[in-house]
Structure 1
């Protein structure tokens, strides 16, 4: 390709890296501009002394999507990343009962039969019916849904019965499980999507389903190893990454971006630009106002602990409050802090001995909390809330001496998510996953119609997990190639 088409990508998160992989593989001149000194965004590595932590995602499912991305670039993902199965997927701690669930369906069925006799047949139906649902819904991820007409595609119409419109996830799970414990066990959506299972549409049952169907994995060294592998492919394809290069504004001429201005005053010129939606929010007051009217997910209070002792926790432990619905209402609707918490604990040392020294543990604790539209003063609340979180873990996991072994500690509050990571309202899971914010109604489809701009990343669609971010990058790349073809 002579006089290569120049592509400028703003940000070095997974969506940007996936896009850069695909376009550099096609021999476009690709440059990524990242405001921080490292790749990954929320998928980055955080080091504290001899302890390593994933800032964000803690497990990977639907690995075929990642495999497909590397195959599109004529690579084998296993040449870059070693994936270990997580088993059990998680251990669930209720006030009156605790039990593990496994990615192996036969093992999970056996656990259910032991603790909830007869309910194992509901699990069989859940898996069987969601297999069909996944078959119909997966092709929908390949569409851009930038207009109402996309909803009338034959593929979309065939999938309509599987969308179970008008039904919440919790309503749907009542069709399979009589036990409230199992309904909660299969509706861990506060963790995945920052919403209440009583609010989220029933179609999202495919997310807990995917853990048992596709399995759940941990890359040796942490989730950050995935973005490092993506960076390596980009570098092999002669793509370029520029760090400490924050884009502050676009220069516009006749609905076309003519340059991206960096904080140091330098102007980057390219033929096409790819960027994250959070940056679009800051472009105009009008766009900010539109963003303020949308419904956002919960935020998260994060506690990262380097412990000089090996604790016998599963890779993932979920602590449930006595009244999960009350907790959800407090978090999502009343936007107040609860005293009885839902807590997600990640202990990668249970699977991977590279995250902490031998006989030590790198523990990450996540608690869903209201986003910053709540006006909670985290400077005032952090100390007391941190202690409440630790007391909850010590009590419910029966580790009264936990604090005695803290060697390193790091906290991220909702205020930090907003100020340091530039996430609207600190809502780490983006917009709420409701029908009024899907498809062509999603804010990313309402962005200024610049001729050479494409929106990518977690904020560009409804669904913030890595597989959906990669699929969105593939959609954006396909859309770009169609436009590029027409322009020639």
Structure 2
């Protein structure tokens, strides 16, 4: 742990980003205060209470759980010590009239399901997973850096990822490399809607979205995803951080 106790850091906003920064800085020995204008933590990942029932105001399921695991691990904890996760398998049930496809994060099980519903198409799925494992390894490191200087855009990791970034193709175009069946293309492209985009217009870069679900799974958090922010706030205070709610910054 670094000796940062002489510095006092103020973080505005107790959303997931502010809470993450607060946890990491407090763990490194800094004096940290998070101020939040509302009466609860979470920001877009908070909750709405109505007649004794709690509703998520933001996302309702979790994928790329390993990112959350890394945050807690950095502070010497485990996400499972604070939250109860439910691995959703099947993840979704996709229907087209009388045809239904269940999706799984188990590659072998998913390949078998595709072969059952769309005979002869499982090979394309296996190629998709193999190719996108390489694509993800190249792109993911680029998402872990700040780009506040021009030199940051010359990092070797970003240059290696450029062929996947600088393209005029869409997510739907990419899935055409693996599937002839239009319904299967849609099964692997509806994740573009997470970005508020059509798969016919969403840049090809984001074909990794469906890959992350099929590779790393989709989870429900018991009590709702707002519990993640609550758990982070508790860990932040446990690490010595100060949290001030109903404290707008003027």
TM-score bracket for this pair, using the shorter chain length: over 0.9
Partner of 2:75: 73
Deviation at 1:90, TM superposition (A): 0.9
- For structure 2, the 5+ residue unaligned runs are none
Matches within 5 A, 1:16-165: 16-95=18-97, 97-163=99-165, 165=167
Matches within 5 A, 1:13-412: 13-95=15-97, 97-163=99-165, 165-247=167-249, 261=250
Q: Go from structure 1 to structure 2 and tell me whether the alpha carbon gap of 1:93 and 1:47 turns closer, same or farther (over 3 Å shift).
A: farther
- For structure 1, the 5+ residue unaligned runs are 248-260, 262-488
RMSD: 1.7
Q: Secondary structure in 2 aligned to 1:52?
A: strand
Task: Provide the C-alpha distance between the structure 2 equivalents of 1:166 and 1:2, rounded to a whole number of angstroms.
Answer: 46
TM-score when scaled to structure 1? 0.49
Task: Provide the C-alpha distance between the structure 1 equivalents of 2:4 and 2:109, rounded to a whole number of angstroms.
Answer: 57
CA contact (8 A) 1:164 1:202 kept: no
Alignment deviations for residues 173-224 of structure 1 (CA, whole Å, 9 cap, x no partner): 1101111111111112343111111121111111110011111111221111
CA contact (8 A) 1:85 1:216 kept: yes
TM-score when scaled to structure 2? 0.93
Q: Size of the alignment, in residue pairs?
A: 248
Partner of 1:472: none
Deviation at 1:136, TM superposition (A): 0.9
Q: Which has the higher contact order (CA 8 A, sep 6+)?
A: 2
Counterpart among 9, 12, 16 of residue 14 in structure 2: 12
Q: Secondary structure in 2 aligned to 1:171?
A: helix
Deviation at 1:100, TM superposition (A): 1.6
Task: Provide the C-alpha distance between the structure 2 equivalents of 1:59 and 1:226, rounded to a whole number of angstroms.
Answer: 11
Task: Provide the C-alpha distance between the structure 1 equivalents of 2:121 and 2:62, rounded to a whole number of angstroms.
Answer: 27
Task: Provide the C-alpha distance between the structure 2 equivalents of 1:202 and 1:96, rounded to a whole number of angstroms.
Answer: 30
Q: Secondary structure in 1 aligned to 2:232?
A: helix
CA contact (8 A) 1:67 1:76 kept: yes
